[in-house]
Chains A and B, each alone.
Chain A
Amino acid sequence: MNIGAIRAIYVFEMARTFRTLLQSIVSPVLSTSLYFVVFGAAIGSRIDQVEGVSYGAFIVPGLIMLTVLVQSVNNAAFGIYFPKFIGTIYELLSAPASFVEITAGYVLAAATKSLVIGLIILATSFFFVDLTILHPVWMLAFLVLTCLSFSLFGFIIGIWAQNFEQLQLVPLLVVTPLVFLGGSFYSIAMLPPFWQTVTLFNPVVYLVSGFRWAFFGASDVPVLASLAAIVVFTVACIAVIALIFRTGWRIRK
Chain B
Amino acid sequence: MADIVTIRNLTKTYGDGFEALKSVNLGIRKGEILALLGPNGAGKTTLISTVCGITRPTSGTITVRGHDTLKDFRAARRLIGLVPQEISLEPFERVMNTVRFSRGLFGGGRDDAHLERVLRQLSLWDKRDARILELSGGMKRRVLIAKALSHDPRVLFLDEPTAGVDVELRRDMWRVVEGLKADGVTIILTTHYIEEAEAIADRIGIIAGGDILLVEEKAALMQRMGQKQMEIQLQDPVTEVPAALADFDLQIGGDGTLIYTYDAQGERTGITRLFSALPDAGLVLRDVQTRQSSLEDIFVNLVNGDAA
The 10 closest A-B pairs by CB, nearest first: A8-B104, A87-B88, A96-B74, A4-B107, A95-B105, A96-B77, A94-B52, A93-B54, A2-B107, A253-B55
Query: Which of A4, A19, A93 is B92 in contact with, Cβ under 8 Å?
Result: A19
In the assembled complex, how far is the CB of residue A115 from the closest CB belonging to chain B, in whole angstroms? Answer: 23
Interface size on B, residues (CB 8 A): 34
B279 at the interface (CB under 8 A from A): no
Given contacts A4-B109, A253-B49, contact A11 B104 (CB under 8 A): yes
Query: Chain A, 1-30, contact with B by CB distance < 8 Å: what is the 0/1 string?
Result: 011110111011001000100000000000
Pick from A2, A4, A9, A90: contact of B54, CB below 8 A.
A90
Q: Is A96 in contact with B73, judged by CB distance below 8 angstroms?
A: yes
| Bound CA–CA A94/B83 (angstroms) | 11
A-contacting residues, B219-272, CB 8 Å: none
Interface residues on A, range: 20 to 34
User: Counting CB contacts under 8 A, is B97 at the interface?
Assistant: yes
Interface string of B26-57 (1 = CB under 8 A from A): 00000000000000000000000100111110
Contact A8 B82 (CB under 8 A): no
Residues of B within 8 A of A221 (CB): none
Q: How far is the CA of A95 from the CA of B153 in the complex (A)?
A: 12
Contacts of B107 in A (CB 8 A): 2-5, 96-97
- 13 A-B pairs within 8 Å (CB atoms) are namely A4-B104, A4-B109, A7-B104, A8-B100, A9-B105, A87-B84, A90-B52, A90-B54, A94-B54, A96-B73, A96-B74, A96-B75, A252-B55
The yes or no answer to B115 lying at the interface (CB within 8 A) is no
Q: List the A side residues contacting B76 at CB < 8 Å.
A: 96
Shortest distance from the beta carbon of A24 to any chain B beta carbon, whole Å = 13
List of A residues within 8 angstroms of B106 by Cβ: 4-5, 95-96
Bound Cα distance from A104 to B241, whole angstroms: 76
Q: How far is the CA of A63 from the CA of B89 in the complex (A)?
A: 37
B residues near A, CB below 8 A?
14, 49, 52-56, 73-78, 80, 82, 84, 86, 88-92, 97, 100-109, 147
Interface residues of A in 47-97 (CB under 8 A from B): 82, 86-88, 90-97
User: In this complex, what residue of A is CB-closest to B49?
Assistant: A253
A residues bordering B, Cβ < 8 Å? Answer: 2-5, 7-9, 11-12, 15, 19, 82, 86-88, 90-97, 248, 252-253
Shortest CB–CB separation between residue A68 and chain B, in angstroms? 26
A101 to B86 Cα, complex, angstroms: 25
CA distance A86 to B98 in the complex (A): 14
Complex Cα distance, B126 from A19, in Å, reads 22
With A4-B104, A7-B104, A8-B104 already in contact, the answer to whether A94 and B74 are too (CB < 8 A) is no
Q: Note all chain B residues with C-beta closer than 8 A to A7.
A: 104
A12-B101 in contact (CB<8A): yes
B54 A86 Cβ-Cβ under 8 A: no
CB distance from B13 to the nearest CB of A (A): 11
CB distance from A82 to the nearest CB of B (A): 8
Q: Which of A86, A87, A91, A92 has the most CB of B within 10 A?
A: A91
By a CB distance below 8 angstroms, the chain A residues around B101 are: 8, 11-12
Whether the pair B105, A5 counts as a contact (CB closer than 8 A) is: yes
B residues near A94, Cβ cutoff 8 Å = 52-54, 77, 80, 82
Is the Cβ of A90 less than 8 Å from the Cβ of B88? yes
- Tell me the bound Cα distance from A19 to B97 in angstroms: 13
Question: Are the C-beta atoms of B104 and A5 separated by less than 8 Å?
Answer: yes
Chain A residue numbers with a CB within 8 Å of B56 are: 248, 252-253
Q: Hey, which chain B residues are within 8 Å of A253, CB to CB?
A: 14, 49, 54-56
A213 to B22, CA, bound (A): 62
Contacts of A9 in B (CB 8 A): 104-105
Give bound CA distance, A87 to B54, whole Å. Answer: 12
A9 to chain B, nearest CB (A): 7
The verdict on A95 contacting B77 (CB below 8 Å), with A7-B104, A90-B82 known, is yes
* Contact across chains for B88 and A15 when beta carbons are under 8 A apart: no
**Bound CA span A3–B103, Å:** 12
Name the residue on B nearest A20 (C-beta). B92
- Asked if residues B86 and A87 are in contact (CB atoms below 8 Å), the reply is yes
Taking a contact as CB atoms closer than 8 A, the residue among B55, B97, B108 that contacts A15 in the complex is B97
Nearest residue, chain B, Cβ from A4: B107
Bound Cα distance from A15 to B76, whole angstroms: 30
Q: How far, in whole Å, are A88 and B73 apart by their CA atoms in the complex?
A: 20
Query: What's the minimum C-beta distance from B209 to chain A, rounded to whole angstroms?
Result: 19
> Nearest chain B CB to A32's CB is how many angstroms away?
27
Bound Cα distance from A91 to B104, whole angstroms: 11
Q: Within the assembled complex, what's the spacing in Å between the Cα atoms of A8 and B99?
A: 11
